[in-house]
Amino acid sequence: MKIIKRNGSETEFDSRKIAVAIGKASQASASSERLSDADIQEMTECVSATCELLGRAPSVEEVQDMVEKQIMSHGAFEVAKRYITYRYTRALVRQSNTTDDKILSLIECANEEAKQENANKNPVINSTQRDYMAGEVSKDLTMRMLLPQDIVEAHNEGIIHFHDSDYYAQHMHNCDLVNLEDMLQNGTVITGTLIEKPHSFSTACNIATQIIAQVASNQYGGQSISLAHLAPFVQVSRERIRRETEEELREAGVEINETLLDKLTEHQLRAEIKRGVQTIQYQVVTLMTTNGQAPFVTVFMYLGEAKNEQEKKDLAIIIEEVLNQRYEGVKNEQGIWVTPAFPKLIYVLEEDNIHEDSPYYYLTKLAAKCTAKRMVPDYISEKVMKELKGGDVYTCMGCRSFLTPDRFTDKGVGNIANAGNYEPGKHKYYGRFNQGVVTVNLVDIGLSAHGDMDEFWKIFDERMELCHRAMRCRHDRLLGTLSDVAPILWQYGALARLKKGETIDRLLYGGYSTLSLGYAGLWECVLALNGKKLTEPEGEALGLEIMRKLNEYTAKWKAAEDIDYSLYGTPLESTTYKFAKCLQKRFGVIPGITDKGYITNSYHIHVTEPINAFDKIRIEAKFQALSPGGAISYVEVPNMNDNLDAVMAVMKFIYDNILYAELNTKSDYCQVCGWDGEIEIQEEDGKLLWTCPRCGNRDQNKMNVARRTCGYIGTQYWNQGRTQEIKDRVLHVSNAVIGQNLSLDLDE
């Protein structure tokens, strides 16, 4: 068994150290209060056994808490006092320099928490280490100086989570929708260089990747761009290619034939589109931003955004090429085609592509093929989104964070961002952003109430006000931010075209940007309160009531402050592990609630719950509708490359029933033996290890593993809590069964 030291490094668990520590506290006590060797041995064994039951590596602090409880339970209060005093004295010494050990362990790649903190960051790389080092300093400043102490304590205890504290010291926002159209059509400036409107599709793609890199380096969340903003440049290239081809034919003395000219033009145009799309895919994958990872970018594919029929046809060509290239994948070091993490792709299911007689149905079939092999694209239902978002259809920011429907335009506020492509009266989404997230641990509220609903709502109200104040800290931190801190964002069109020296304050009110109230563990919360699951009528009813109450609070704050608070289903990548550990510390190991190294994301049905894909989507759709600030549902599927009819069936069900969903499969490769099936997760000595089932390879540097983490694909591995969650996932679609029962499921 392993133990996590205070600096984040991992070492062997040594029970003898527990015995020594208790013995020293005992010897420092009066002789009449001292413990016997048998008592010390019993306590040591109890603590060791408790650690074993956790199913993960405990931290030093957790072990010391267990020791305190053991000493107290034996009535040895004098010994406990000595032990607590020693801990406090050592804590004071450490408090004088809180970051050095962590930073040094980061540099030496010994920090296990950092290694697994982000599934798309490699902690060995200098740029990642530099970002983590800066993050440690930011967190230290944030927790010691910038946040109120009660918010810090609630964060440390896992009652709430104040996200991205490693960036809070700077005046940075979370995620956004890049106004790529404005930047391409009206020009932009990148590192002091004027970039004018491109004269070809390939140039537009190249500029887009530079914009993506610049935006990623000036924020800490995800960004989204739309292929519709690149589509007009297909016609620009078409006209240029046609002119050049016609001139070449004339010079060669060839008689001009319009049919031949059209054919030659389209042939060259397709080649340019292929090069342009390849530029986006390979540059995004290979770019390294200042935070030590590839840009977290989402590419939106929605035919309905095209401004005319020709543009729609051109957009369809781009979408087709994007899907084809993603299906192929990218080559790893050995030259093997593997699944890349980014860019994330979102494909809108709409009337023009969802039915077999729809003109663009061929794109949907291609999307299904790509999903089966590479886990993307994910799917937004135009039909459901229009119902829930006031008739508008737009992409999320990054993996799941959605803006609130445009209300500042309806209020007649006008072009507050000075966007070059602003159209009066038309709803605006590109150029808008999210200010940040604070997440409430619903499981903690549920367990703290001990089954008493009156007590639950009382604690719930207190936690909501705590979250509200924490979110206001995020908002207030951005107030007064000058546009000069990130020119690409605030001055040159990505989010606005403000003047130098101007503040971004007016973009923080009126609905232009959002603040997110995150929530986690609805499944366990309901189970703790009434013993029911969200899949049972009583559990579903209580879960929906809690969701409605959360929305009541965001609506109340919004009305009072003119800030668009919105309810957000938190992804919980590393936080799921933190929350689980804090719950075990506060409440012990409770079957079905705190007995794992993770808690359930947002409103999701538990990953171990046996349920078919269609029932899961039906149930979760009710909760997703009450999570307007962002949420995504998924179904876990086996290898579906030979069962695309089943994939299409799920996609059509998504179109009719839920706003945003994805299909999770596996896409792995062992570099040692060439295994291209699923890399398994095996447990050894209390630790979960990724293992090739063919050759037993456990070297993570010699395998490619891609798993859906929290709405996006991770490729750099995960902490032990998230790894356990991935291991525990059950299939919602069975290849053996779906062919027989699919029509029955769809008809029900």
311 residue type, one letter: E
Cα→Cα distances 466→99, 461, 472, 556, Å? 27, 9, 10, 15
Active site residue 601: no
Helix/strand/coil for 697: coil
Active site residue 711: yes
Active site residue 401: yes
Q: Where would I find the beta strands (DSSP E) of 228-305?
A: 297-301
Helix/strand/coil for 709: coil
Q: Pick the catalytic residue: 43, 175, 396, 582?
A: 175
Q: What are the structure tokens assigned to 692, written together?
A: 């090739």
Active site residue 174: yes
Cα–Cα dist 699/684, whole Å: 14
Parallel, antiparallel or unpaired: strands 667-670 and 330-331 = unpaired
With contact defined as beta carbons under 8 Å apart, do 543 and 534 qualify? Answer: yes
Q: Pick the catalytic residue: 113, 136, 573, 662?
A: 573
DSSP type of residue 507: G
Active site residue 418: no
Q: What are the structure tokens assigned to 135, written together?
A: 């993050």
Active site residue 175: yes
Q: Where would I find the beta strands (DSSP E) of 134-244?
A: 160-162, 176-177, 188-190, 193-195, 223-226
Element housing 466 (H / E): helix 453-478
Cα–Cα dist 404/443, whole Å: 27
Cα–Cα dist 415/661, whole Å: 33
Residue 745, number of CB atoms within 10 A of its CB: 16
Active site residue 451: no
Cα–Cα dist 122/112, whole Å: 12
Sequence-separated (6 or more) residues with CB below 8 Å from residue 551:
567, 626, 628
Q: Pick the catalytic residue: 7, 26, 291, 434?
A: 434
Q: Pick the catalytic residue: 360, 519, 565, 568?
A: 568
Please state whether the peptide bond connecting residue 638 to the residue before it is cis, i.e. omega within 30 degrees of 0.
no
Sequence-separated (6 or more) residues with CB below 8 Å from residue 93:
none
Assign 3-state DSSP to the chain and report helix, strand, coil percentages, each to 5.
Answer: 50, 15, 35
Q: Pick the catalytic residue: 105, 179, 353, 401?
A: 401
- The crossing angle, in degrees rounded to 10, of helices 258-286 and 232-251 is 130
Active site residue 641: no
Q: What are the structure tokens assigned to 517, written together?
A: 């109230």
Q: Pick the catalytic residue: 174, 179, 353, 643?
A: 174
> Nearest Cα to 336, choosing from 730, 21, 706, 720?
706
Q: Pick the catalytic residue: 397, 473, 525, 651?
A: 397
Q: Pick the catalytic residue: 399, 464, 473, 547?
A: 399
First to last CA, the chain: 49
Parallel, antiparallel or unpaired: strands 633-636 and 687-691 = unpaired
Catalytic residues: 174-175, 397, 399, 401, 434, 568, 573, 711
